Amino acid sequence: MSQRYDKILVHAPTWIGDLVMATAAFQDLRKAFPESRITLLLRPGREQVVAGARYYDDTICDRSSGSLKRIWNCLLYTSDAADEGLGVDLGGRRI
């Protein structure tokens, strides 16, 4: 990818099994954007699943009851990336 992003927020899967399966995609994201600051948005208790991994720089624990999900969906549909046709394929779902 020729585009550069300073910061990337990844809304990680909620279910632990899905989070484990997504780690390969997170590693690919780090390879594609090695200079970016990658932050994982996780549900409480999921920090231990990704502890010690090198594919992210920081985590945010989402203790809300859905408000961040609504904000996230809004960001997906209004971002410049959507306007430019850019996306990331995570598990067969293009976002």
**pLDDT tens digits, residue range 47-84?**
889 998 999 999 988 776 655 555 555 444 444 444 44
Q: What is the phi/psi pair of residue 83, to 5°? A: -65, -35
Residues 6+ apart with CB under 8 A from 5: 33, 36
Whether the full predicted model's pTM is greater than 0.85, yes or no, is no
